[in-house]
Structure 1
Amino acid sequence: MTQETSTAPKALGHIRVLDLSRVLAGPWCSQNLADLGADVIKIERPGAGDDTRAWGPPYAKDAQGKDTTEAAYYLSANRGKRSVTVDIASSEGQALVRELAKEADVVLENYKVGQLKRYGLDYDSLKAVKPDIVYCSVTGFGQDGPYAHRAGYDFLIQGMGGLMSITGERDDLPGGGPQKAGVAITDLMTGMYATVAVLAALMHRDRTGEGQHIDMALLDTQVAMLANMGSNYLNSGKPPKRWGNAHANIVPYQTFACADGHIIVATGNDSQYQKFVEAGKRPDLGADPRFATNPLRVQHRDVLVPLLAEMVRERSRDEWIALLEEVGVPCGPINDLADVFDNPQVKARGVAIEMDHPAAGKVKLVRSPMKLSATPAMAGLPPPMLGQHTDEVLRDVLGRSDAEIAALRGKGVV
């Protein structure tokens, strides 16, 4: 586990992000921008903060092994940011946010459609004080359409957006039925798409001087990320069904039970299939004309897969992995997270990092997977305590005196 340090230049070191978002989709976007070097100022409710601060256990532990107030969920999406508490329901708090927006390049928010307009913090209002602002709104259903004013949550969108209709075991097998993904994949992908959109808008601004409003919707993202499944439906007119750990278009591309566990076999072409059955001492399955090509294997999967399952059960998991790696057939184990973080490749890539933290002493996090040779992505700051940087930001960015900050705090504005 490594502590991230670097003196390399930051790709977004010239960018300031005013982050009004909370929970996951918006914070995931702003964390990406922070990893790339942006100064991210996270605006939170005084006394409460981001909802995910309380989404525990587990919590980060202090030096005595006792729980802190920092939920692991919150820690996962908020490194690299500065926390400022502002009551945006107050007129003085709204004025502070408008001042901060004037000093920012990007505003990120995930309030319900129209909610920030009541506070004078919507795109049109902030564009009036910063004409070239890049303003990114993240909602469940977008800024228009019949569902625009509905609240959107990842689980609901996984269902509404079709993901759960193709995730889970086949209906005719034990345990069959719709299943959500193990992480909030729609939120995470919306955060990733929002990151790309913000970077594109910044490039446009740098070329033209023009800012813009970005409208990101969880439902749009979920439908877009159906990828080949969405294309399969649009080009066939037939809704895809659940295949569990199998693949709709490739056979064999699934899990198999070994003598002592499970293995994933992912044969992407006919040559790999031939090597697979030869390694299993079943050359007859390679010579059988019913299984000669992938389209034929898909057609005859109900005959082929039980034969392959019988073949795989004859060896242990480690035997299969060694055998298939030797002949170039993609394969692998199904790891739990203890296995993942103990994996030599994961360790070699420095995926797990450790950061100093004011309450926990040290916190363990997962580093950004973006590896840039000249401007490496770096966590920079640990996930902030609630309001940790309020005085610093108001003083250094807005020029407020200590007395003025104290007065704002006395009135509950910050």
Structure 2
Amino acid sequence: MSKKLGSGALDGIRVLDLSRVLAGPWASQMLADFGADVVKVERPNTGDDTRAWGPPWLTSADGKPTGESAYYLCANRNKRSITVDLGSTDGQALVRRLAKEADVVIENFKAGGLVQYGLDYESLKKLNPRLVYCSITGFGQTGPYAARPGYDFLVQGMGGLMSITGRPDGSEGDGPIKVGVAVTDVMTGLYATVAILAALAHRENSGEGQHIDLALLDVQVAYLANQASNYLVGNEVPQRMGNAHPNIVPYQDFPTADGYMIVAVGNDLQFGKLCQVLGQAEWAQDERFATNASRVANRQSLISLMRRLTVHRTTDEWIAAMEAVGVPCGPINTIDRVFANEQVQERGMQVSMPHPLAGSVPLVANPIRMSASPIEYRMSPPTLGAHTENVLGDWLQLTASDIEVLRSQKAI
């Protein structure tokens, strides 16, 4: 058990994070938010690839760039950073010593990439049988694609997501589109978090650690969710539908007098209320539209009729009228309007943390609310190698002279 850093649900759990970019760091940030002691192992001088993925850069109080990229900042709070050269024999030995003290290791090297360093699961399992070891790759540890590199954009395409994202064929601006956030990486990070927590629970009962093999492509296929089920059950290949829903109507965007709004009708009762707001109460009894199944069958007719009406009032006017009777609806906000939204502000979805270079750093909050062990914002995303001496003293009880030897060997 590690030195207590907080009082979160995972206080006392040590995580050695060998990953970089987004999927692995997203998982380790989640564990860190839950109170785990996460040590981020980075390359000397350069660190995590995303440290260089700017602009934008975090700026100091006088407006000067700090060199900390916004991308890096999004996935690395509550961690401690150490620099270790995995290419050196001494660096590899040091990481093995750290892994012996860890509860969890997260890595996203190519399949088999850590074997040469003696840092693969089978090697570390001999040193620490209770270790939970999570490997994140593009295509997994097995299969014909196992050796291929995998990236979110690539996997969004290969895994089917882009085939159902974008405007329909034959419409203006048609063609496949990726999602505007690296959702496959983020979802893989969340699946990794769930798997690690399950493995820790299993260890409590069995005393044994285990290897978690997590692939971006597997995750992408899994979270096709209802679209995958539509294909497997209905034997029809889902197509791009723009903002429409394959199983629910009306459930999409509509033009207004000053922009667009979203109407998300989930049942027949809500549809009846929508008809009243639109001044077309008779639609609720029209056999073409009375049930969701009939609305799906007559989608084009209903949507065309609605679009002719919605352009006559502003977005705010429609939303006020629909909210008054309980019809789910809302605007399509730009991100600045998201953070200005009263609900988002009330829920505290933006936090500010002290930062050694900038004074403070704005971050998106963790959305999880726990009554007994709430999320703690203990440390801002660390500067490169900021905690090397601290961690080596804490985890391995190394002295200043021991650390100086490692520096002379260029292990750290």
Q: Is 1:227 aligned to residue 225 of structure 2?
A: yes
Answer yes or no: is 1:142 the counterpart of 2:140. yes
Q: Superposed, which structure 2 residues align to 1:286-325 within 5 Å?
A: 286-325=284-323
Counterpart residue identity of residue 261, structure 1: G
CA distance in 1, matches of 2:122, 2:224: 33
In the alignment, is residue 404 of structure 1 matched against residue 402 of structure 2? yes
1:133 aligns with 2:135: no
Q: Which residue identity lines up with residue 228 of structure 2 in the other structure?
A: G
What do the CA deviations read for 1:176-202 (whole angstroms, capped 9, x no partner)?
110000000000000000000000000
1:63 aligns with 2:52: no
Match in the other structure for 1:245: 243
The answer (yes or no) to whether the contact 1:368–1:378 under 8 Å persists in 2 is no
**Whole-Å Cα distance in 2 between the matches of residues 343 and 219 of structure 1?**
35
Q: Does the 8 Å contact 2:58/2:67 carry over to 1?
A: yes
| One-letter amino acid matched to 1:272 | Q
Question: Unpaired runs of 5+ in structure 1?
Answer: 1-6
Q: CA deviation at 1:378?
A: 1.7
Could you say which residue in structure 1 is the equivalent of 2:365?
A: 367
Output the amino acid matched with 1:230: A
Question: Does the residue aligned with 2:270 lie in a helix, a strand or coil?
Answer: helix
- After superposition, the C-alpha distances for 1:369-406 in whole angstroms (9 at most, x for unaligned) are 11100100122111000000001111221111112212
1:89 aligns with 2:108: no
Q: Is the 2:6–2:376 contact (alpha carbons within 8 Å) kept by the matching residues of 1?
A: no
> Matched residues in 1 for 2:119 and 2:285: separation?
68
Shift of 1:282: 1.4
DSSP-derived class of the 1:332 partner:
strand
Q: Distance in 2 between matches of 1:200 and 1:256?
A: 43
Q: Which residue does 2:101 correspond to in 1? A: 103
Q: Distance in 1 between matches of 2:311 and 2:273?
A: 17
- Between 391-400 and 262-271, report the one with greater CA deviation: 391-400
Task: Decide which moves more: 43-52 or 403-412.
Answer: 403-412
Which whole-Å CA distance do the structure 1 matches of 2:85 and 2:269 have between them? Answer: 63
* Aligned-partner SS, 1:205: helix
Find 2:341's aligned residue among 336, 340, 343.
343
Q: Is the 8 A contact 2:90 2:409 kept in 1?
A: no
Deviation track 1:315-358 (CA, whole Å, cap 9, x = no partner) reads 11111111000100000000011100010111111110000011
Give the TM-score taking structure 1 as reference length: 0.97
Q: Matches of residues 126-275 of structure 1 in structure 2 within 5 Å? A: 126-275=124-273
Q: Could you tell me whether the CA contact under 8 Å between 1:368 and 1:379 is conserved in 2? A: no
Deviation readout 1:134-170 (Å, 9 max, x if unpaired): 0000000000000001000000000000000000011
Q: 2:43 aligns with which of 17, 42, 45?
A: 45
Letter in 1 for 2:172: P
Q: How far apart, in 1, do the equivalents of 2:6 and 2:404 lie?
A: 37
Deviation at 1:283, TM superposition (A): 1.9
| Matches of 2:272 and 2:309, distance apart in 1 | 14
Higher RCO (CA 8 Å, separation ≥ 6 residues): 1
For the residue of structure 1 that corresponds to 2:15, the secondary structure is strand
Identity, % of aligned positions: 60
Contact preservation (8 Å) 1:33, 1:195? yes
Note if contact 1:18-1:101 (Cα within 8 Å) is conserved in structure 2. Answer: yes
Aligned amino acid, residue 66 of structure 1? K
* CA distance in 1: counterparts of 2:347 and 2:91, whole angstroms: 43
Amino acid at match of 1:358: P
Q: Which residue number in structure 2 is paired with residue 28 of structure 1?
A: 26
SS in 1 for 2:106: strand
How far apart are residue 286 of structure 1 and its match?
2.3
How far 1:8 sits from its partner (Å)? 7.6
3-state SS of 2:396 partner: coil
Residue in 2 aligned with 1:75? Answer: 73
Would you say how many aligned residue pairs link Structure 1 and Structure 2? 408
Report the more deviating stretch, 375-384 or 161-170.
375-384
Counterpart contact for 1:20–1:43, Cα < 8 Å:
yes
TM-score (norm 2): 0.98
SS of 1:83's equivalent in the other structure is strand
Q: Report deviation, 1:27.
A: 0.2
> What's the CA shift for 1:171?
1.1
Partner SS state of residue 25, structure 2: helix
Q: Is the 8 A contact 2:39 2:82 kept in 1?
A: yes
Alignment match, 2:381:
383
Q: Is the 8 A contact 2:161 2:220 kept in 1?
A: yes
Distance 1:402 1:37 in 2: 27
Distance 2:255 2:198 in 1: 45
Structure 2 residues not aligned, in runs of 5+: none
Of 282-291 and 177-186, more deviation after overlay is shown by 282-291
For the aligned residues, what is the CA RMSD?
1.0
Matched to 1:262, the amino acid is: Y
Distance in 2 of aligned mates of 1:299 and 1:13: 53
Deviation per residue, 1:270-292 (Å, 9 max, x gap): 11111111101112322321111
Contact 1:8 1:375 in 2 (8 A): no
CA offset at residue 407 of structure 1?
2.0
Runs of 4+ deviating beyond 3 Å = none
SS in structure 1 at match of 2:283: helix
More deviation in 205-214 or 394-403?
Answer: 394-403
Conserved 8 A contact 1:80-1:379: yes
